[in-house]
Structure 1
Amino acid sequence: MRQTWRWFGPEDRVAIDDMLQAGVEGVVSALHHIPTGDIWSPEEIAKRQQLIAHKKDGSASGLSWEVVESLPVSEDIKQQKGNWRTHIANYKESLHNLADAGIEVICYNFMPVLDWTRTNLVHRLPTGATCMRFDFIDFALFDLHILERQGASEDYPDDVQSEAARRFAELDDAGRALLAESIIFGLPGDAEAPSMANVRNNLAQYDRISTDQLRRHFIAFLEEVVPVAQTLGLRLCCHPDDPPFNLLGLPRIMSTEADYKIIMDAVDLPANGITLCTGSLGARPDNDAVGMMERMGDRVHFLHLRNVVLEGSDIRGSFYEAEHLGGHVDMVGMVGAVLKEEAKRKAAGRSDWSIPMRPDHGLDILDDQNRKAQPGYPAIGRLKGLAELRGIMFALSHA
């Protein structure tokens, strides 16, 4: 398991020097400043590689950019409208440029409008640590009473609507604004969250797009880009929906193992693969992340290892992000399944036998709470998670 670390670029408050002290082996990054749909040029890719390759004092870091997260898929591609064909052509060119730069693993997602969604970015735990949390009632409150989405009442049972109305009545303007800001925080790395008007407009674009239609659009995209990736020796890997259930009336097509099987079978090439995120998949009680690794491991190209505590047994429910060994996902079983898959690949002579993983998210603990890094990406909390995961790896592989 190749130990990597996500870095958002020069504005990230967790620096290259910090990563070195954490003992990581490679870096996961992206060019968030380039508009979605545009080409990632060789020059911009090289700039990011140079930043990663050097410490603050200018000396060599010994680290390199090994995984892209993410090369974003535009809304035009998802909807097959506007400049979608140009955006696909640009995506292919970006793949060529990344391959020329020696970067082989490209993570992306196919979630409409929003990326990961939480209702609280600084939920305080009894220990004093803070984490990100998704409260289903608070989300219903936002949808019904702040966003006021047409038809939203059809998506929530009566008891949820009643409790959401009660909470809304108790929230002052500042509380309502904070909830809305947390939910529409936007893509990780974005300079600012989208406005409410933009969210309503973007949601409206999907009024006539069903789940089946969005899946067809996804397959059409893959039919274009996966053969290019295969020829270039790249590994594309789709991140699951986060959380893995329907939100805001939008279609969700990458929430379960069955969803992944459809996509893997539709474009059945090794380059068409999986970002197995134990936290995203684990936020749904009927998902079996360890079993998915055991059954579909040959197509897993990237691992996000994090944990969540479920606050109920409903498919759509509340959860909060936990310590890496303290939640719903059997992390020891997961690491064991990954090590078995790697041994199988090594025996088969696969060059990609070592699967890159990163400690995804983490609790804000100790000085993290003063640093105020990107939500979910503290220095010490991730270091603690990496240490725990590293301990499992070494214990299970010990002779």
Structure 2
Amino acid sequence: MQQTMRWFGPNDAISLTDIRQCGVSGIVTALHEIPVGDIWTVDAIQERQQTIRNAGMEWTVVESLPVHEDIKKANGASLRYIENYKISLNNLAACGIKVVTYNFMPILDWVRTDHAFKNPDGSKALRYDQVAFNYFDLFLLKRPGVENDYSDEEKQMALDYGNTLSQDDKDLLFKNVLLGLPGSKVNFTRDQILELLENYKDIDNHALRTNLIHFLSEVAPVAEVLGIKLAIHPDDPPFSVMGLPRVVSTQEDLNRIFNAVPLNANGLCYCTGSLGAEPHNDLEKIIDDHGDRIHFLHLRNVKRDSKDIFREAEHLNGDNPIESIMEKLVLLMQKRNVALPLRPDHGFLHTIEEGKEQYPGYSLVGRLKGLAELRGLEMGIQYRLKHTQN
């Protein structure tokens, strides 16, 4: 595998020098400063490439070239934004960047209720608690019609939970759920999120899936000609939040997406954390079924403490069978004769970095630990397979 690490650009508290010292050769990044939907110009791409090259690495994966909300809603401006997306793909290809990650989650890229869950050893992790989220949705956000989405038992459990919180706890929960896009330090306000949700009130899973397939039918043929691999990131979490539709959460979702647009350029960012948070997803079977569509790897682990709670776990110690997943990926790369780009995802925040400005899940030490563990696991499997096959 090609080891990479994510960098949020010049404003990232973690420098390229720091990342290079982790032993990676590739950088996963995006032009976060360009408004969503605008064209990524060749000049802007090359400027960022040169910054990364000056640090001794290459920009190998785009994460993400974001899809404008108008495309997801298929409103009057969607065609213009799709054309802009095609132009950006052309410009990326002209600069030699051939893997482009994106997602099709409405409004929020990912949601957690706790960004600093304390592990027994004192490190901190990301955590999702459904009861805490229900309290946010019902009693903090108070979105119109929310009472119809929950049973009486769920409402009472949420209320009981809220009664244990101080006002500071409630403010922190609100902030955690509505944290903006990766690389951003800006939270959505209540008014902003309610306005955005209003725009999706008539869009269900079927409509959103239809809009995704239309988007892919337009951009995947362009990517195929350019030699670009599109890698859709699964929903995180892999179920509806705030009543929003979700269409990239399950194996059946992936089957529909790839069957609808069968070009190889229409591929997957294989995220073991997002897919693994849904207990019915068989992560090994997804490799078996869609291995030729896997273009980028996010390897991390999750621990499901109950049906309502999951949290980030150590990369090698969680509910996902990471050893067998890695073996399948090693065999897949041998079969395809490729080195897929891999990045460790959502590392713990260790006490050595406490007090520093770190984005949740993206502290340096936690990701370095995960990268070292995954690299060692891959090398051990390669060694065993080599000697077994011989």
If the length of structure 1 is used for normalisation, what is the TM-score?
A: 0.94
In structure 2, C-alpha distance between the alignment counterparts of 1:389 and 1:156, rounded to whole Å: 40
The amino acid of 1:27's aligned partner reads: I
For this pair of structures, how many residues does the alignment match? Answer: 384
Answer yes or no: is the 8 Å Cα contact 2:179–2:185 preserved in 1: no
Alignment of 1:295-314 (within 5 A): 295-312=289-306, 314=307
Query: Within 5 A, what are the aligned runs for 1:237-316?
Result: 237-312=231-306, 314=307
* Of 291, 305, 312, the match for 1:321: 312
Q: After the TM superposition, which of the residue ranges 253-262 and 191-200 deviates more from structure 2?
A: 191-200
User: Tell me, what secondary structure is at the counterpart of 2:270?
Assistant: strand
Matching residue of 2:123: 129
Aligned match of 1:349: none
Say yes or no: does 1:379 pair with 2:373.
no
Structure 1 residue 326 displacement after superposition: 1.2
Q: After the TM superposition, which of the residue ranges 197-206 and 171-180 deviates more from structure 2?
A: 171-180
Instruction: Report if aligned partners of 1:366, 1:380 keep a CA contact under 8 Å in 2.
Output: no
| Structure 2 Cα separation of the partners of residues 326 and 233 of structure 1 | 36
1:38 positional shift: 0.4
AA at the equivalent of 1:174: D
Q: Distance in 1 between matches of 2:77 and 2:157?
A: 43
Question: Over residues 32-51 of structure 1, what are the superposed CA-to-partner deviations in whole Å (9 max), with x where a residue is unaligned?
Answer: 11111100111111121122
Matches within 5 A, 1:49-198: 49-55=49-55, 61=56, 63-198=57-192
Give the secondary-structure state (helix, strand or coil) at the position aligned to 2:38: coil
The whole-number CA distance in structure 1 between the counterparts of 2:22 and 2:303 is: 26
What is the CA-CA distance between 1:269 and the residue it aligns to? Answer: 0.4
Give, in angstroms, the shift of residue 159 of structure 1.
2.9
Identity of aligned residues (%): 45
Q: CA deviation at 1:278?
A: 0.2
Listed as ranges, the gaps of 5+ residues in structure 1 are: 56-60, 347-352
Please name the residue that 1:58 is paired with: none
Unmatched segments (≥5 aa) in structure 2: none
Q: Residue in 2 aligned with 1:340?
A: 331
Alpha-carbon distance in 2 for matches of 1:355, 1:232 = 19
Structure 2 residue 321 is the aligned partner of structure 1 residue 360: no
Q: In the TM superposition, what whole-angstrom CA distance separates every residue of 1:166-193 from its partner, at most 9, and x where no partner exists? A: 2223323222111111001021012412
Whether contact under 8 Å (1:33, 1:190) holds in the other structure is: no
Q: Secondary structure at the match of 2:196?
A: helix
2:355 partner SS: helix
1:350 aligns with: none
Is the partner of 1:22 in helix, strand or coil?
coil
Residue matched to 2:195 = 201
Indicate the SS of the match to 1:342: helix
Counterpart of 1:47, as a letter, is: E
* SS of equivalent residue, structure 2 residue 351: coil
1:7 and 1:290 map into 2 onto residues whose CA distance is 29
CA distance in 1, matches of 2:288, 2:3: 20
Larger mean CA deviation between 156-165 and 185-194 belongs to 156-165
SS at match of 1:117: coil
- Aligned partners of 1:158, 1:393: CA distance in 2, in Å? 48
TM-score (norm 2): 0.96
Instruction: Note the alpha carbon deviations across 1:190-234, whole angstroms, 9 max, x for none.
Output: 241221111101111111112111111100000110000000000
Aligned residues of 1:106 and 1:235 also touching (Cα < 8 A): yes
Rounded Cα–Cα distance in structure 2 between residues aligned with 1:154 and 1:357? 41
